[in-house]
Amino acid sequence: MKSEYTLAQAWAALQEPVTLTEEVRERMEASVAFLQTYLSKAEQPVYGVNTGFGSLQNVVISDKDLSALQENLLITHAAGAGEELPSELVKIMLWLKMLNMSKGYSAVRPIIFERLAAMYNDNCLPIVLEQGSLGASGDLAPLSQLVLPLIGKGWLNHPHLGRIHGDEWLSKSGFDALLLGPKEALALINGTQFMLSHAVYAYHKISHILQWLPWISTLSLDAFDCRIEPFLSPIHRVRNQQGQMRAAEEIRVILEQSKHNKNSKKQVQDQYSFRCIPQVHGASYDSLEHCFEIWERELNAVTDNPNVFEEEGLVISGGNFHGQPLALTLDYAAMAIAELGSISERRTYLLVSGQRGLPPYLAEDAGIDSGYMIAQYTAAALASQNKQLCTPASVDSIMSSNGQEDHVSMGANAATKLLRVIKNVEQILAIEWMCAARAAQIKGLETAPALMAKLKEFESKVPLQHTTVPMQELISGSRYWLFNAD
């Protein structure tokens, strides 16, 4: 495991086994040794090491009870509720937790890294429930569930045996339950790995959306017989918004190869959902770049508490577990992605509106055949739900731990909402692509060769036989073809 990753590098690394390098082992051992020396000389209790937690910070714990303190912490804090977290996200959480402790500021023994790596590499993943984190004192509840198997508690999804208990996993792996040392449980459950796992997964899904967005919107543009002038570079150069210039160039490069787009147009202007693609898509591009930058910093950050600093001779209890940087950007990303779905749905609405040489609802025999009428309804329903989901979680807070934790980020709620918005936008874009492909069929469109090649491949996998195949199957097929998502 390296010490620094980009988001793209992290996603690639997530596809490979994890190993504990000698460099990481030495860092972790030095951190543990420093904390032991520090405790032997400390005149005051150290929070979470020999004290209680949260509002119980002033309860001093005797040396003989330190291991019990850490074990009790895991058991009592594993208080999640709701649906099981998808296995992809649990695996990312494990990887992120190992990355955090590998930095050498957490005083966690290498054996804990190795046990987590065993789960990760064997794809035997702890069962973590979706709800319970306030996104501030670390993602306490989900992270506690993540690491319960280390002490023979909790449950895991075994790749061959299904659901097994933590003690069964230990037995089958040839491990004994770990007796946790000072601070180790707190290091395991403090941190932003639940929120950050959603951000890393969202980055991957958003990247696919952004790759396809120019192709989807360009096919709609050409099928709806739109003008190319709004995409020419001078108008975007004088506004000097980077995302806008990029979005215009993407469309322009594809459309320049279209024979159909070179035909004269009857209309002087097109509707905003077409004409303002650079301005709308571009604003989302810029917003998402900002979010990715914050997520990448968090990826390489240390977010548990307290942290040990061997060089300075300090153990500092602070607030790096607070999820505010993630909460704000997870909300922001949801809004940026939702807008891509919002403008896409408007383009679909126009494609089925019976204008510009296209039949109403792209139907073969409108009246007997309702065509793509209800597909547009579905896109509208999803776009509308996204507006509700984009109410920011990060402006909310609620007091906990007897007032000790009096401002929380609600970043976990922002994280789960973001993934719902992304899924909705994939569906909306799949409907736009499907309708644009149908419109291109009807017109016998001679669009750009690269776009024609994609169309032909799509039609070979998802024949648009809407009078014999239920529309839901066409939508599902379109989404799978575009985003490899069910």
* Rounded Cα gap, residues 152 and 374, in angstroms: 51
* Rounded Cα gap, residues 450 and 38, in angstroms: 64
Helix (H) or strand (E) holding 83: strand 81-84
Instruction: Spell out the long-range contacts of 236-242 with Cβ–Cβ below 8 A and sequence spacing 24 or more.
Output: 236/278, 241/279, 241/282, 241/283, 241/286, 242/282, 242/285, 242/286
Could you tell me the two tokens for 412? 């976990």
Taking the CA of residue 113 as centre, how many other CA atoms within 13 Å lie in the half-sphere pointing to its CB?
Answer: 26
- Cα separations (Å) of 45 from 40, 179, 184, 187, 359? 11, 21, 16, 17, 77
- Note if 47 is an active site residue: yes
* Rounded Cα gap, residues 230 and 287, in angstroms: 22
DSSP 8-state secondary structure symbol assigned to residue 361: T
- Active-site entry in 47, 203, 285, 361: 47
* Rounded Cα gap, residues 446 and 463, in angstroms: 19
Q: Count of CB atoms within 10 A of residue 316's CB? A: 14
Could you tell me if 129 and 85 are in contact, meaning their C-beta atoms sit under 8 angstroms apart? yes
* Rounded Cα gap, residues 230 and 236, in angstroms: 9
Nearest to 376 by CA among 463, 483, 441, 466: 466
Q: Look at residue 323 and give its three-state secondary structure.
A: coil
Please give the torsion angle defined by the CA atoms of residues 71, 74, 77 and 83, in that order, rounded to the nearest 10 degrees.
Answer: -150
H-only helix segments in 174-271: 184-189, 193-223, 233-237, 242-255
- Cα separations (Å) of 347 from 63, 200, 422? 67, 30, 18
Could you tell me if 27 and 311 are in contact, meaning their C-beta atoms sit under 8 angstroms apart? no
Q: Count of CB atoms within 10 A of residue 415's CB? A: 31
Residues identified as active-site: 47
